[in-house]
Structure formats: structure tokens, C-alpha cells
């Protein structure tokens, strides 16, 4: 639980202290709002994709993506984001978001290297889009504009012939092809859950290979220097549940992974990858591979200059 003196819960405070970043976190925490500023409202209307994290009916954490034309996201008022899209039936979060749910979201602008988190509570909105299954209304608890670090520059391209999202593979472990897709990814997203059931979605980026498939049921990645809030690692201090989204930028598909993660804070772990401050390992318990996850593809990446070399 947060208090009136800090926007952070006990897990975030513990992670900040372990990293020696409490003072920086206090400074960064001043940017956390519970309303959508006018500049953020304008930002939303221009976006083509939204990452959403939530728990499925069995309590497993997943991260998925929604997409639409510019304007499919908008600030209905200073406390509410309207989303003219909802996960397709094949998506593991379809049932969860068809009813009230706690969610974490990221509105991402890869072309401009900008991102905005909005975490809160979602309810179905029957109005939705003209051709979609309805939409979402998300009431904001936390609104945070993050720095451009580790975002690969990409521009969206429409796929008019895209069909509805469909699951092409499901399982409890990664196949060889899925492990290869993970090992060559340069971007992924992670959903975690806080002590009060709140959900956060965060972004990770690096050169291909930043996400290592060390076994069919294990993924590992470095944590590079960030904004010092430790919203992801703070949640993992208290609850290991996590979900990863790996977009396929070339085809519009996506790989969704759920499991439990732990952070290795040891000096040995830090030395394993150049630029890493710590390592995180996810034990995989569920995998869903989607084709036509979005009606978008993206241009090839221009890698972030912030990535350690």
C-alpha cells in the first residue's frame, strides 16, 4: 500500500533501497499523477498501440497488445482513458477484460521514442469501435510519462488484409521456434502485480539477445539503469507473478508468456551482462502464440542509443 508521504508501496521501497536509489526514486515519484494531463491526452489520441497487463480468471499474469487507428485511445475525462478495442477471443486476457479488472497499460510511440503508463481499473465499454468487440474504460490510479531509454525507433504500417487474432500454438513451455523468437527479440513488455492487486505494465529493450531463452521453461534478461522507481522489481519483491509480451513487429503476431519471476541482485549477476545492474529470470508456466495479434506491422528498428554496448 502507498501512503500520503510516498507514492510507492513496500516492495518498491525495498527494491529502491537495495539498489541505493531511494533519493532518486523520491524525485522521480513527483511525476506520478492520478489524472491525465492535457499533454498526455493529446499523446493518447495519436497512438496506434496500447500494451495491457492483467490477471486471467485463474490469477495468472499476462501482457497483450491492442491496436487501432489514431484516435482509438482518448482521454474521456481527466481520470479516464477510453480504448476502442478489446482483446480477441483467442487472447488469454479476453475473458478477464470482458468484466471489471485491474490493469496496467503503456501507450507507446516507437517512432518518437515516447511512452506513457496508465495503471488503474478497467470496465467493458459496449460502444468500442465500429467493427470491434467493444472497448474499455480505464480509470486512472497512476499516470507516469517515462523517459525514452531503450525504445527502438519504428514506424507503423497498416495491414488491410489482416484477419482476426487467432492462437496458432499454446503450451506450458517454449517450443524451439518460440525460444528462437525470444532470443532474437529487441523489445518486450512485462506485466506485474502489486500488493493490493494493482497491475503495472513496463517496457524493456536492448539489442537482439537481450532476452535469453536459457531453457524451454526459463527466460532471463538484464535490468539496465532506469528511472529508479522500480515499479516492476518492486512488485516482484512481493509477488512473483509476471507476464511477458513479445510483439512480432514484422508480421503483426505476438508471443505471450506467463510465469513467475525472481530478481538476482548479486554482483556475479551484474557482471554477467555488460551494463546490467541486476538480472531477472522468469520460470515459464504458460505460452500463447497469436497470429494477426494486431492489424499493424512496423518498419525495421533504429536501435536506442541508450543500450549498453
Q: What confidence score (pLDDT) does residue 127 get?
A: 63
Mean pLDDT of 116-136: 80
Q: Which of 3-7, 89-93, 157-161, 212-216 has the lowest mean pLDDT?
A: 3-7
**Residue 133: pLDDT above 60?**
no
**Residue 168: pLDDT above 90?**
yes
Q: What confidence score (pLDDT) does residue 1 get?
A: 47
CA neighbor of 278 nearest in space, from 193, 221, 216, 215: 221
Q: What is the pTM of this model?
A: 0.95
**Residue 130: pLDDT above 60?**
no
For 8, 84, 129, 220, 247, the CA distances from 15, given in Å and listed in that order, are: 11, 36, 40, 19, 28
The class (CATH top level) of 10-298 is: mainly beta
- Tens of pLDDT along 242-279? 999 999 999 999 999 999 999 999 999 888 899 999 99
Q: What confidence score (pLDDT) does residue 126 get?
A: 75
Mean pLDDT of 29-57: 96
- Tens of pLDDT along 175-196? 999 999 999 999 999 999 999 9
**Residue 4: pLDDT above 60?**
no
**Residue 14: pLDDT above 60?**
yes
**48 vs 92: CA distance, rounded Å:** 21
Amino acid at each position: 500500500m502507498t501512503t500520503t508521504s510516498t507514492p510507492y508501496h513496500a516492495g518498491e521501497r525495498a527494491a529502491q533501497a537495495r539498489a541505493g536509489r531511494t533519493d532518486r526514486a523520491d524525485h522521480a515519484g513527483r511525476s506520478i499523477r492520478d489524472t491525465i494531463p492535457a499533454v498526455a491526452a493529446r499523446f493518447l489520441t495519436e497512438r496506434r498501440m496500447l500494451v495491457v497487463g492483467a490477471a486471467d480468471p485463474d490469477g495468472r499474469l499476462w501482457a497483450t497488445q491492442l491496436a487501432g487507428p489514431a484516435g482509438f485511445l482518448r482521454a474521456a475525462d481527466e481520470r479516464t482513458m477510453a480504448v476502442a478495442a478489446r482483446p480477441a477471443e483467442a487472447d488469454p486476457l479476453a475473458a478477464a477484460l470482458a468484466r471489471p479488472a485491474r490493469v496496467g497499460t503503456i501507450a507507446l510511440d516507437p517512432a518518437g521514442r515516447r511512452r506513457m503508463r496508465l495503471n488503474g481499473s478497467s470496465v467493458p465499454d459496449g460502444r468500442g469501435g465500429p467493427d470491434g468487440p467493444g472497448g474499455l474504460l480505464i480509470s486512472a490510479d497512476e499516470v507516469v510519462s517515462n523517459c525514452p531509454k531503450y525504445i527502438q525507433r519504428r514506424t507503423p504500417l497498416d495491414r488491410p488484409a489482416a484477419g482476426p487474432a487467432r492462437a496458432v500454438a499454446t503450451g506450458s513451455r517454449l517450443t524451439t521456434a518460440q525460444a528462437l523468437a525470444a532470443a532474437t527479440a529487441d523489445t518486450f513488455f512485462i506485466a506485474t502485480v502489486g500488493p493490493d492487486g494493482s497491475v503495472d505494465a513496463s517496457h524493456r529493450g536492448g539489442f537482439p539477445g537481450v532476452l535469453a531463452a536459457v531453457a524451454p521453461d526459463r527466460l532471463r534478461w538484464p535490468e539496465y539503469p532506469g528511472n529508479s522507481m522500480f515499479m516492476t522489481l518492486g512488485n516482484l519483491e512481493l509477488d512473483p507473478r509476471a507476464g511477458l509480451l513479445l510483439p512480432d513487429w514484422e508480421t503483426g503476431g505476438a508471443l505471450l508468456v506467463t510465469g513467475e519471476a525472481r530478481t538476482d541482485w548479486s554482483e556475479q549477476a551484474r557482471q554477467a551482462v555488460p551494463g546490467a545492474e541486476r538480472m531477472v529470470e522468469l520460470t515459464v508456466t504458460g505460452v500463447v502464440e497469436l497470429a494477426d495479434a494486431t492489424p499493424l506491422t512496423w518498419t525495421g528498428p533504429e536501435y536506442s542509443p541508450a543500450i549498453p554496448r
